[in-house]
Amino acid sequence: MELKIITEMTIRQFVAKVSNQQHAMSGAVIAVAAAQAAALGEACVQISLDNQVDKLDWHGVSQRIAQIAELKEELIKCYDYETNVITDHLDYMATDKSISPQIVFESAIHVGQLILNVMQLLEEFRPDVFSDLKNDFDITVKLLTGAAQSNALLLNTYLQLWPDPTLVAEYEPQRAALAQQLSRYV
């Protein structure tokens, strides 16, 4: 399969792709929403540093910005992956029920952990946010929280769609661990 880089699509093209599919592209939409929220968080931290250079530890904050940027890029990769691989996998699963759904579980677990990692970095930075950005920062955290909650719902949906005891034994504890981590932020 040739992997199309979906991130080269315009927003309008991606929205059209989502609305024209034969199945809901929830995972891709969650990943792109989380990437956008991470970008906003990255900007809030950078602007805070720019406006408080004399107050903040430049090296430490720069490292945090780099970590957020790395997580954002990984979320963008997940967006491409979800749009290509998961879509093809789900289409194939519709015709061949013997295929394991593990690929969708693994992807959702990975996206959930990435979102939580961004949230943790931002929450640790909260005391240092530039005062003019406090509302933007809160918006960022709310957007990430919504993405994390949506991802948790996606995992619940997968567990309902594929209640196989082996899958439940493997992925329910991971889903519960993500939910526990998320509860610290909500």
Domains, the chain, ranges and CATH? Answer: 6-183 (1.20.120.680)
Q: Which two tokens stand for residue 123?
A: 């929450």
CB atoms within 10 A of CB 167: 17
Residue range 104-136, pLDDT digits in tens: 899 999 999 999 999 999 999 999 999 999 999
Ramachandran sector of residue 146 (left: φ over 0; alpha: ψ -120 to 50; beta: rest): alpha
**Predicted TM-score (pTM) above 0.85:** yes
DSSP category for residue 52? -
Residue range 12-21, pLDDT digits in tens: 888 888 888 7
